[in-house]
Structure 1
Amino acid sequence: MILVCEFITPSGLERLRQSGVEVHYDPHLWKDRDALKVRLADATALIVRNQTHVDADLLLAGPKLRVVGRLGVGLDNINQADLEARGVKLYFARGINAVGVAEYVMAAMLHLSRNLAGAARHVAEGGWNRSAFGGFELSGKTLGLIGLGEVGLRVARRARAFGMKVVAADPQRLPWESVVEEFEITLTTVEEVLRQSHFLSLHAPLTLETRHLIRAETLAAMPKGAYLINTARGELVRNEDLVAALRSGQLAGAVLDVVDEEPLPEHHVLRAVDNLWITPHVAGLTAEAQEAVGLRVAEGVLAALGVR
């Protein structure tokens, strides 16, 4: 039996059901861990998104489990060591939402540079102050990337098309030499990326080394009036230091699609900061990406089970 305990697209669910394997689909089951454990007893495959914490405790409830499918790319909620210890395979949709996230980063930079929403609101309220909404051009500005994986490379390619200079540091030291040359990316240190960036976009995984990578010291190293965009992991940023930088003017603005607590609590320190825009983890949630994620994970899980 294949157990799907979070939302999957209709096409992905249909692909699973076409296989002839029994499928139990309850997109809200993740909310009740005890009920999830009961269902897991008969499951040979478990498919989750980002709400279900898959660890040794949960795996104990699934003695027949052979594969876990992750409907997405992040693996923060999956304890891979526990899966390996049990001999359970892991399948996830690596790189599937890279285009959507890259386009989100470009949209964020355009939002920060042109403030179309503010200008439209100004007109709707009866104003016509053209000088207040001229903004500035991305062309000629420097975009700094920390992390140069599937998403970072796509952001770089799009930024170069806008006439931006791109500098990057990659904590994982991925072997992108030929691609870096093709896209005219300058590979350098994190410190140099911070020093040069008019816009800084985060695409690094969360590790012991990258946790709170963006903090008071690193923010102070950036040009005054720079901008931060985070579509990677909320814990890469120390919230209190970000707020201080935004309020002091060290940063002119920031766009976050990820935060350390999701959904954002009512009295969280990041709320009510005028030059900070937070979206509900939607960068990779395009219709195209979600459709592809559902189908790819369904295919991967079925293949792991030896089913066509």
Structure 2
Amino acid sequence: MAKVLCVLYDDPADGYPTAYARDDLPRIASYPGGQSAPAPSGTDFTPGHLLGSVSGELGLRAFLESRGHTLVVTSDKDREGSVFDRELADADVVVSQPFWPAYLTPQRIAAAKELKLAITAGIGSDHVDLDAAIAHGVTVAEVTYSNSISVAEHVVMTTLSLVRNYLPSHQVVLDGGWNIADCVARSYDLEGMHVGTVAAGRIGLAVLRRLAPFDVRLHYTDRHRLPIAVEDELGLTFHESAADMVPHCDVVTINAPLHPETEHLFDDELIGTMKRGAYLINTARARIADQDAVQRALESGRLAGYAGDVWHPQPAPADHPWRTMPHHGMTPHISGSSLSAQARYAAGTREILEAWLAGTPIREEYLIVDGGALAGTGAHSYAVHTPAADG
């Protein structure tokens, strides 16, 4: 029998919901490109309910316990002697979300003698040290595409919010004011601007498709160039690198995985080549942007705005400088954890567990590490980091 350790974020401050704003969800059977949505043998939850918090348990308890397995659910993961660290010692499986990541460091992986599978309920597995997982034979899987469109929608929302100066204007209403000049002094139209994405995978391409109707000029850079037909359809301009692309853009959105080649990519030097008054949107990973460089660029006016919902560390401390820097539109890490997305990634987590417990193959597109090597989506998105690679 297996022990599954599930690390989820805390319930709402006023308690787990007893009612919801909507009664149902649209049914999503497949994603752009044809990948089918998660298809477990069954589910024990109501789509549209809060599944990603501790009481939601990703809808896994009845499924696992009815088969004799053990489920431990906690939000306690960062303090010394946390429930996560205590329970990890004999856990076979760890499940966590990028929004409340249970960091599987080399030390934790080495100490988890029974660990065989690490699942990301959602997308993005950089909270797992992939080199250590490879070395210790731990399979890493994520629910690919389950919340990609959710994140893409968030990118569009925050782009418009910054460019149109929405958040300060809304605050004027909340404060009882009506000074139109204060609201529009930093408000522009997105139409005609040049918008570029760093990476054009599932999320980046979805962002490009959603922004095209705004009559913007679209740019992208990626290790894997898109088909010419897609470039022609959307009017895309390809650039060999972020350094080549960003000087041309009024808005830059980061949709790349975090790995050694992207860590601190947006530093003082790169941001310094951006147009004065450009906007930077980061829903990928916080460490792709240098924390202090972003703050300096906003204070100097090099950047007109910065938004996203990824921080380092997560949860961000109360004194994190990104909470108080000017002209930002930061949120907690929520872009991929809408109730709609939770239904999909909870179902996908169960699908992965069903396959693993039955000894049958996990979907190729869900795999990040398998059999001691990068696999599936992981082989496309990540690179193994070794000391030799640094040179």
Shared fold (TM-score, shorter chain, > 0.5): yes
Within a 5 Å distance, the mapping from 1:155-174 to structure 2 comes to 155-170=207-222, 172-174=223-225
Unaligned runs of 5+ in 2: 9-51, 361-391
Corresponding letter in the other structure for 2:59: G
Tell me the equivalent position of 2:238.
187
Task: Report the alpha carbon displacement of residue 289 of structure 1 after superposing the two structures with TM.
Answer: 1.0
* 1:106 maps to which of 156, 181, 186: 156
Deviates most, 33-42 or 293-302: 33-42
Decide which of 120, 130, 133 is 1:80's aligned counterpart: 130
Q: How far 1:273 moved relative to its partner?
A: 1.9
* 1:301 counterpart letter in structure 2: L
Tell me if the contact between 1:55 and 1:83 (Cα under 8 Å) persists in the aligned partners: no
Structure 2 Cα separation of the partners of residues 267 and 37 of structure 1: 26
**TM-score of the pair, normalised by structure 1:** 0.87
Letter in 2 for 1:185: L
Which among 130, 144, 147 is matched to residue 94 of structure 1? 144
2:255 is the counterpart of 1:203: yes
Structure 1 residue 65: Cα displacement: 3.8
How many Å separate the matches in 1 of 2:74 and 2:306? 33
- When the two chains are superposed, the root-mean-square deviation of aligned CA atoms in Å is 2.6
Name the stretch that deviates more: 70-79 or 50-59. Answer: 50-59
More displaced stretch, 96-105 vs 177-186? 177-186
In the alignment, the residues of structure 2 paired with residue 86 and residue 207 of structure 1 have an alpha-carbon distance, to the nearest angstrom, of: 20
The residue type equivalent to 1:208 in the other structure is P
| Structure 2 residue aligned with 1:248 | 300
Q: Does 1:3 align with 2:29?
A: no
Change (3 A) 1:175 1:306: farther
Q: CA deviation at 1:169?
A: 0.9
**Alpha-carbon deviation of 1:40?**
4.6
Q: Give the 5 Å matches for 1:37-48.
A: 39-40=87-88, 43-48=91-96
1:216 aligns to what? 268
Measure the CA separation in 2 of the matches of 1:34 and 1:131: 51
**Between Structure 1 and Structure 2, how many residues are aligned?**
307
1:261-300 Cα deviation digits (max 9, x unpaired):
2233333333422212321111111111112111101111
What is the rounded CA distance, in whole Å, between the counterparts of 1:19 and 1:174 in structure 2? 47
Q: Secondary structure at the match of 2:7?
A: coil
Note if 1:292 corresponds to 2:344.
yes
Inter-CA distance 107–43: structure 2 relative to 1 (3 Å threshold): same
1:140-159 matches, within 5 Å, as 140-159=192-211
1:281 to 333, 338, 356: 333
Q: What is the correspondence of 1:253-268 to structure 2 with a 5 Å cutoff?
A: 253-268=305-320
| 2:97 corresponding residue in structure 1 | 49
CA contact (8 A) 1:152 1:203 kept: yes
* Structure 1 position 18, deviation (Å): 7.3
Say if 1:169 and 1:187, in contact at 8 Å, map to a contact too: yes
1:22 maps to amino acid: H
Q: Does the alignment pair 1:12 with 2:54?
A: no
**C-alpha deviation, 1:245, in angstroms:** 1.6
Counterpart-to-counterpart distance in 2, 1:77 and 1:192: 29
Indicate conservation of the 8 Å contact 1:19/1:307, yes or no. Answer: no
Change (3 A) 1:207 1:90: closer
1:160-185 residue CA offsets vs partner (Å, 9 max, x unmatched): 02211110111x32554443333322
Q: Give the residue type in structure 1 aligned to 2:120.
A: R
> Residue type matched to 2:96 in 1?
V
> Contact 1:47/1:69 (CA < 8 Å) preserved in 2?
yes
State the secondary structure of the residue aligned to 1:47.
strand
Which segment is superposed worse, 41-50 or 97-106? 41-50
- Equivalent-residue separation in structure 1 for 2:61 and 2:227 (angstroms): 37
How far 1:89 moved relative to its partner?
2.0
Q: Which amino acid aligns with 1:6?
A: V
3-state SS, counterpart of residue 140 of structure 2: strand
Equivalent position amino acid for 1:182 in 2? E
Q: Distance in 2 between matches of 1:207 and 1:61?
A: 24
Q: Could you tell me which amino acid in structure 2 is paired with residue 3 of structure 1?
A: V
